[in-house]
Amino acid sequence: MMRSCLRPTGMVFLAALSLAHLPATARADDPAPTQAPAAAQVAAPAAVPPTTMRPEERGLMIFQQVCSSCHSMERAHYGDMIDLQPSVTALQHWAQQRHAGLESPIASPYPSVAVGKANNGGDYPPDLSHIARTIRGGPDYIRQMLAGYRPVPPGVTLAPNTYYNPIALTHHHRFKMRPPLHEGMIAFPDGTQATIPQMASDVTAFLQWADDSHRSTRHFIGTAVLLYLALLGGILLALWRLLKKEA
Amino acid sequence: MNDNTHPTRSWLDSRLPFLRPFCQHMTRFPMPPVNLLWTLGACLMVAFGLMVVSGLFLSLHYQPDLAQAFDSVEAMERRVPSGWLIRSIHTGGVSLLFAALYLHVGRGLWYGSYKAPRELVWLSGLFLMLLFMTTAFAGYVLPWGQMSYWGATVITHAVEAIPGIGHGLLVYLLGEDTLGGVALHRFFILHFTLGFIIAAVVGLHILCLHGTGSSNPTLDSPHPDRTTRPFAPFYVVKDCLAVCVFLALFAGLIFFLPGLLGKLDNIIPANPLKTPTDITPEWYLAPWFAMLRAVPSRLGGLIAAATSLLVLFILPWLDQSPRHNATYRPLARMGLGLFFIAFIILILAGMNRATPLWVWLSRGAMLVWFLTFLGLLPLAAYRERQASDASTQGDAP
């Protein structure tokens, strides 16, 4: 009796699980990369401009054009960005520009730590793989800090290659990262205005995604599992009470 | 019975003659009227099964190599299909497993399940607990993050406190002077092998239990209930129901609150040149870490931590009272209640910075630990035995 009750619920669960994989596979199919590498060097292949973009998708654009010129994201490969940039050709183009392939880690542009430090006032740009989780203050700090650069107040003197940022936690607001974001520096295909607070928020969303890229799938599967267990638990509870009464 | 005539059954019966009596024993096994705390064993078996299966899949992708260990774990999280799911089952499962394990041991303490004739059940169970602790410790080293490296460094160097042979033993165990590639490979083999050894000891534990049967929590109450029920179907359904709730907790934790389980420092690769600001173990090993820190001498801490486990092993002989259930033993009830509070304090102390407050709290908790098992429980047993002798003598004339 129990077995016949379990079978349909099990099917529902399996169906729910297989649904979880659908969005990812549907997004990955795009025209095969037929363009010659030489042509790709001239102009980035323009994919059909999406009408709406998720914040983390805009964030990837900012990371590609701004952050990655100093920071690495060693734990992620170029190909891992397929969830945010469904065009394989565009990703290949980006990787080739950095003398890498889709299966290479997003390495630091600096040949050594010493060179990285020398170029950034003595502080090495940290790896961004898990920065959203590991930095003190978390995503809120990143968002505010990126938009937190201010003109130097009177009475404050800055060393060369140092920038005034009252939000920054290191060196008493004398920050070594040069202001990365400037109004209108990126033209988003979805028409979003590239204001500094907007870009700070988008790039933070991207860094959160990079740290925990399975978040939405995890919540979906978690909900399915809990629903399944609630159903199974209900059946078992009914059966248990039935057996209790019998004895 | 109808299935006596089934050709497959009779074919199996003539070749595996023990199978039918075994199945009958398992389904008809007489169960006393036990409460919901007796379902924790089933939850533990399911948790352990999940750990073995997820662990096997993880081992297919893990590289026990200094240069590749951390990256192979990150690759599981990002690139191996469903790797993040399998890994979160494994890393989250350990917390759930230990929560159920400690409740299971606590239930055994409260209801006197360690007493005659169940000493072997108790001893095999404690041995399992030690195996689980060792396995969990070895497993925590494998991702080779900052906390893996520094936690393992602190704990392995506790061995150095053994006088005379300490340093030599440490070098012998690690395979080199410091924690490095050789030790990492050894930890992997240890972790992998212990999983199967645990499976065997679990079998032994259940074998011991089925020799004597489950203890009856109502025997010491004013209204003892000596009725039994066959294990199937009532207790099978009850266990399944408990497992269902346990899995729901499990799913809630790994799918919705993964941040509660992982330490931030462990997503930073191990760096022998940079000590993290706080080296704290996972919560399930924290009580013994707190003991190591609470004793000013290194050797003393090691002895205290080892003795705290040893007193549990000799408990069946320390407490020989005829009464089992602490609910009806005022002195034992007080002692065990204090012990449970002390255990929680030790967990918190081990997870927090060693400020004077936490060090003194853990010293107090250790005192409670030893006083309960070496003082209060034997005293309670002595008084209860005297009382029962007096009552039998009083009945005789």
CB A75 within 8 A of CB A129: yes
- Spatial separation of the C-alpha atoms in residues A97 and B280, rounded to whole Å: 43
What CATH superfamily classification does B280-385 receive? plastocyanin oxidoreductase (1.10.287.980)
Q: Show residues of chain B in contact with A223, CB under 8 Å.
A: 255
Nearest to B283 by CA among B350, B345, B369: B350
> Does the distance separating the beta carbons of B268 and A134 come in below 8 Å?
yes
Interface probe for A, chosen from B71, B73, B78 (most Cβ of A below 10 Å), is: B78
Beta bridge partners of B195: none
Cis peptide before B117 (omega within 30 of 0): yes
Read off the pLDDT band of A45 (50, 70, 90): low
- Spatial separation of the C-alpha atoms in residues A6 and A231, rounded to whole Å: 10
Residues of chain B with pLDDT under 50: 1-2, 397
DSSP class of B231: I
Sign of CA dihedral B354, B356, B361, B363: positive
pLDDT digits (tens, 9 = 90+) for A96-120: 999 999 999 999 999 999 999 999 9
- Name residues whose C-beta falls within 8 Å of residue A2's C-beta, 6 or more positions apart in sequence: A235, A239, B237
> Does the distance separating the beta carbons of A213 and B267 come in below 8 Å?
no
Q: Which of B65, B74, B210, B308 is catalytic?
A: B210
pLDDT > 60? residue A15: no
CA distance B278 to chain A (A): 14
Pick the residue with more confidence: A155 or A170? A155
CA distances from A35 to A42, A86, A90, A227 (A): 11, 16, 11, 47
Nearest to B69 by CA among B154, B155, B140, B156: B140
Read off the pLDDT band of A159 (50, 70, 90): confident
Query: Domain locations in chain B?
Result: 34-275, 280-385
Alpha helices (runs of H) in chain A, residue ranges in sequence order? 2-20, 22-28, 37-42, 55-65, 88-97, 113-118, 131-134, 138-146, 196-211, 215-246
CB A194 within 8 A of CB A179: no
- Spatial separation of the C-alpha atoms in residues A128 and A126, rounded to whole Å: 6
Q: Could you give the angle at the alpha carbon of B314 between the alpha carbons of B311 and B315, nearest 5°? A: 80
* Strand pairing class (A163-164; A105-106): unpaired
> Does the distance separating the beta carbons of A229 and B241 come in below 8 Å?
no
Which residue in chain B is spatially nearest to A232 when comparing CA positions? B244
Across the interface, which of B229, B237, B244 has its CB nearest the CB of A229?
Answer: B244
CB B38 within 8 A of CB B110: no
- Return the structure tokens found at A222: 């978690």
DSSP class of A186: S
- Name residues whose C-beta falls within 8 Å of residue B148's C-beta, 6 or more positions apart in sequence: B140, B141, B142, B266, B270
Beta bridge partners of B46: none
Write out the H or E segment, with its range, that includes residue B192.
helix B181-212
CB A134 within 8 A of CB B264: yes
- Spatial separation of the C-alpha atoms in residues A119 and A110, rounded to whole Å: 9
Which residue in chain A is spatially nearest to B233 when comparing CA positions? A243
C-alpha dihedral (B53, B58, B59, B60), degrees to nearest 10: 100
Q: Show residues of chain A in contact with B245, CB under 8 Å.
A: 233
CA distance B326 to chain A (A): 27
Instruction: Give me the pLDDT at residue B279, please.
Output: 87
Instruction: Give me the pLDDT at residue B260, please.
Output: 85
Q: Which of A14-23, A79-88, A234-243, B171-180 has the lowest mean pLDDT?
A: A14-23
Domain B34-275 has CATH 1.20.810.10: yes
CA distance B241 to chain A (A): 6
Pick the residue with more confidence: B239 or A28? B239
> Does the distance separating the beta carbons of B255 and A225 come in below 8 Å?
yes
Which residue in chain B is spatially nearest to A239 when comparing CA positions? B237
ipTM for this prediction: 0.91
Q: Which of B238, B321, B362, B384 is catalytic?
A: B238
Q: What mean pLDDT do residues A72-79 have?
A: 94
In terms of Cβ atoms closer than 10 Å to its own Cβ (0-12, 13-18, 19+), residue B17 is: exposed
CA distances from B252 to A225, B130, B260 (A): 9, 28, 11
CA distances from B389 to A136, B383, B386, B396 (A): 65, 10, 5, 11
In terms of Cβ atoms closer than 10 Å to its own Cβ (0-12, 13-18, 19+), residue A141 is: middle
* DSSP reduced 3-state for B230: strand
pLDDT digits (tens, 9 = 90+) for B246-272: 999 999 999 999 888 777 888 889 999
